[in-house]
């Protein structure tokens, strides 16, 4: 079993034991799948998109905040976050943080 995650400036790192390439890929896939379990794929992809746009535009803070604000409003309008918060409050699902 590999050592636990260590939190370091917004990124998790883990050292996997030395194994074959196939075993390494299998271990990484299991870890990523476990971390993404229960997350809404659309929200993850939108977050990634916003981060990539911010990097491309050299992180102009005003532009990033405006984009994120509109993205949050669009997301809340779908009703998905409200449903997720309700499920968390009822303890039907567990919050990832």
Domain ranges of the chain: 6-36, 41-89
User: What's the pLDDT score for residue 9?
Assistant: 47
User: What's the pLDDT score for residue 21?
Assistant: 93
CB-CB contact of 70 with 64 (8 Å): no
Give me the chain's average pLDDT, please: 81
| pLDDT single digits (tens) 8-40 | 444 567 788 889 999 999 988 988 888 888 888
User: What's the pLDDT score for residue 14?
Assistant: 74
The band of 4, judged by pLDDT with boundaries at 50, 70 and 90, is: low
Full-model pTM: 0.49
CA distance 30 to 62: 38
CB-CB contact of 93 with 38 (8 Å): yes
Query: For 41-69, what is the mean pLDDT?
Result: 81
CA distance 89 to 83: 10
Query: For 41-66, what is the mean pLDDT?
Result: 80
The residue written with tokens 């990523």 in the block is: 32
At 6, phi and psi to the nearest 5? Answer: -125, 135
Query: For 71-97, what is the mean pLDDT?
Result: 87
């Amino acid at each position: 079993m590999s050592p636990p995650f260590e939190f370091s400036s917004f990124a998790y790192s883990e050292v996997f034991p030395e194994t074959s390439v196939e075993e390494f890929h299998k271990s990484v896939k299991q870890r990523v799948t476990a971390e993404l379990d229960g997350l809404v794929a659309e929200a993850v992809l939108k977050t990634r998109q916003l981060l990539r746009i911010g990097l491309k535009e050299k992180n102009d803070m005003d532009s990033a905040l405006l984009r994120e604000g509109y993205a949050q409003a669009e997301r809340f309008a779908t009703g998905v976050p409200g449903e997720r918060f309700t499920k968390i409050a009822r303890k039907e699902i567990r919050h990832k943080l």
